[in-house]
Amino acid sequence: MAVRIRFAPSPTGYLHIGGARTALFNWLYARHHGGIFVLRIEDTDLERSSSEMVEGILEGLRWLGLAWDEGPFFQSQRLPLYQQACEQLRARGTAYPCFCSPQELESRKQASRESGSAWQYDRRCRDLSPAAVEEKLRQAQPHVLRFRVPEGRTVKFSDRVFGPIEVASESVEDFVLLRSDGRPTYHLCVVVDDVDMKISDVIRGADHLSNTSKHVLLFEAFDQPLPNFAHLPLILGTDKKRLSKRHGATSTLEYRKQGLLPEAMANYLALLGWSPGTDRELFSVSELVSLFDLDRVNRSNAVFDPAKLEWMNSQYLGSVAAERLAPEVKRLLQEAGLWNESWDAGGRDYFLTAVDLLKTRTRRLSDFVEFGRAFFTDDFNYQQEAVEKYLRPSPQLISALSELRAAYAGLKPFTLENTERVLREIADARAVKTGSLIGAVRLAMTGKSVAPGLFDVIITLGQEKTIQRLDRLLNFLASAPALKS
C-alpha cells in the first residue's frame, strides 16, 4: 500500500516546537518510505484561525526544509464533503440531532460535577422520537449533530508507538460532529479527510491518543479501513509542563530569528522522541531520512532543552562551510547596518575568511555580529574589562607597542609567521610578557579580550588596518593617562 501521510496543523497558533517535530517525523517517514507528504490546514474553527498563522506555519516548514508534495488543503474549503458525510451517517442512524443548548449543557454539567459524578453528555437527545425530532426541526430549533457511540463495544486499535490500545465504548461520549451553525468539528474532518486523501499512516502528537477511539468509531461508521496510527510522545517545557506560549520562544520561526541553523534544529528535533540506537548524535538530513523509522520512537514525553539545541547549533556552525553561512551572516550584518557590498565581490575572500575564523567560536548566528564586529567595521569600542585587564600603561608596554607598530609597517611579507615572530621578539627585547603584549594588541584589533587567534586576526585584517588600529590604541594610551597603573 502506497505510503501517504499528512501533517495537519491548525492555524490557531504558530508552528511551535511540538508541531515542528510532528511535521519532521511525518516528513522523514514519507521520505524514508518514498511516500507522499500531504499538508492539510485544519481551520474548521474559523474564529480562531488566521491567514497570518497559516503563512507562519508554511514559512516554518519551508525554513526547516520540510517540503510537502500535496496541498496545502484547507478544510474550510471542503465543507460540502463533510456535510455529505454527515448525511450519510444520519441516514445510517449513527448520527443524531441534539437540541440541548450550550447553556443547558453547562448547567447539567455543573450539577453532575457538584454531585460528584463524572460528566459525559447524558444522551438526552439520542433517542428522541422521529416525530419529536421533526417537530423541533420544523420549529428551526438550533441543534448540533452528535455521533451515536455504540454501546457495549470495546474499541481497539494498534498504535505503532504505543502498541495495542483498548477502550470501552462507554467511556466515549456522543461527541459533536456538526456545530449548531452547521460547521463540522475536528473529529469529523480528520476522519473524512484521511479517508478522502487516502492517508495510510496517521502520525501525530500523543495528545490525540485518547481521541483516536472516536476516530476509530467514525472510520467504522463509514465502513472504511483504519489507517496505521502512530502517536508521538509530547514535548514538554523545562518545567515539565506542556510546551506553550508561556515558555518563551517556542515559535519555530523565533529560533531562526535567534540565529539557529535549520539543519541543527531538525537534527535536535529528530532526537526528541526518537533514537537511532547508536551513540551518534549528529546527522545530516539525508542520513536522518535513511535512518528514521517509527519502530524506534519512544513512548515517554521529552523535555525540550534549549542548551542542548544551542550546543548542536554550535556544532553545525563550526563544521559547516563558510559559504553556507555567508548568506545568513550577510542578512544579519545588513540588519545591523554593517554590510559592505564589496564582500559580495572583490572582498569575498576576506568575508569568508572572517566567517571561518569566527565560526568555531559562535553558538548562534547572531554571535557573528556582536562577537565579530571588529571584522566588519572600524567602529568598535574598547571593552571596559579588556582595557582594565591589558592596558596597565607601563612605559615598557607603550614602547613595545610603538616599536611593534614601526616593525609591522616595514614588514615585508606580512604573514602569520612573520607577524608572530616579530611580536615575540619585541616582547622579549622589551621585557614585556608576550601574553600582555598579545592582549594589548588584541584589544587594539578587536576591542575585546576574547577573539580568534591574534595573528589570524592580524593577517586577515591586513597590514594597513593593523597599523591603523595600533595607532588608534597608541593615541588612546597617550590621551588617557588617568588609567590606573
Partner RNA sequence: GGCCCCAUCGUCUAGUGGCCUAGGACGCCGCCCUCUCACGGCGGAAACACGGGUUCGACUCCCGUUGGGGCUGCCA
Of 298-317, binders to RNA (CB under 7 A) are 298-303, 305, 307-308, 311, 314-315
Is 435 an interacting residue with respect to RNA (CB under 7 A)?
A: yes
| Residue 151 half-sphere exposure toward CB, CA atoms < 13 A | 2
Identified binder of RNA from the candidate list 211, 383, 396, 402, rule CB under 7 A: 211
Q: Which of 210, 189, 305, 228 is nearest to 26 (CA)?
A: 228
Q: Which residues neighbour 71 within 8 Å (Cβ) at sequence distance 6 or greater? A: 6, 38, 39, 40, 41
Site for RNA in 376-415 (CB under 7 A): none
Is 438 an interacting residue with respect to RNA (CB under 7 A)?
A: yes
Residue 214 annotated to the active site: no
| Smallest distance, RNA to C-beta of residue 275, A | 4
Site for RNA in 65-104 (CB under 7 A): 100-102
Binding residues for RNA, total number by CB under 7 A: 85
| Smallest distance, RNA to C-beta of residue 345, A | 29
d(CA 27, CA 24) in angstroms, rounded, equals 5
Q: Which H or E element spans position 11?
A: none
- Whole-number Cα distances in Å, 317 to 111, 357, 364, 367, 373: 59, 11, 8, 11, 17
- Whole-number Cα distances in Å, 104 to 98, 101, 119: 12, 5, 13
Annotate each residue in 119-158 with x if it binds RNA (CB under 7 A) or - if it does not, as one string: xxx--------------------x-x--------------
| Smallest distance, RNA to C-beta of residue 458, A | 9
User: Would you say 262 or 452 has its CB closer to RNA?
Assistant: 452
Identified binder of RNA from the candidate list 91, 118, 345, 482, rule CB under 7 A: 118
| Smallest distance, RNA to C-beta of residue 276, A | 8
Site for RNA in 161-190 (CB under 7 A): 162-163, 165-168, 171, 173, 175-176, 179-181, 183, 185-187
- Identity of the amino acid at 438: I
| Range in contact with RNA (rule: CB under 7 A) among 220-228, 253-261, 325-333, 443-451 | 443-451
d(CA 27, CA 5) in angstroms, rounded, equals 8
d(CA 22, CA 8) in angstroms, rounded, equals 9
The angle subtended at Cα 116 by Cα 111 and Cα 121, nearest 5°, is 55
d(CA 331, CA 79) in angstroms, rounded, equals 42
Is 430 an interacting residue with respect to RNA (CB under 7 A)?
A: no
Site for RNA in 348-367 (CB under 7 A): 360-361
**426 in Cβ contact with 403 (< 8 Å):** yes
Q: What's the length of the chain?
A: 485
Assign 146 to helix, strand or coil: strand
| Smallest distance, RNA to C-beta of residue 479, A | 26
Identified binder of RNA from the candidate list 4, 6, 24, 44, rule CB under 7 A: 44
| Smallest distance, RNA to C-beta of residue 344, A | 27
- Whole-number Cα distances in Å, 287 to 62, 294, 308: 19, 15, 20
Concatenated DSSP letters of 369-396: HHHTHHHH-S--PPPHHHHHHH----HH
Site for RNA in 250-309 (CB under 7 A): 271-273, 275, 277, 279, 281, 296, 298-303, 305, 307-308
Q: Quick one: DSSP state of residue 238?
A: T
d(CA 255, CA 382) in angstroms, rounded, equals 30
Site for RNA in 450-469 (CB under 7 A): 450-456
| Smallest distance, RNA to C-beta of residue 263, A | 16
d(CA 441, CA 395) in angstroms, rounded, equals 16
Identified binder of RNA from the candidate list 114, 115, 131, 240, rule CB under 7 A: 240
User: Would you say 82 or 343 has its CB closer to RNA?
Assistant: 82
Active-site option among 156, 198, 241, 245: 245
Is 50 an interacting residue with respect to RNA (CB under 7 A)?
A: no
Is 210 an interacting residue with respect to RNA (CB under 7 A)?
A: yes
Residues with catalytic roles: 245
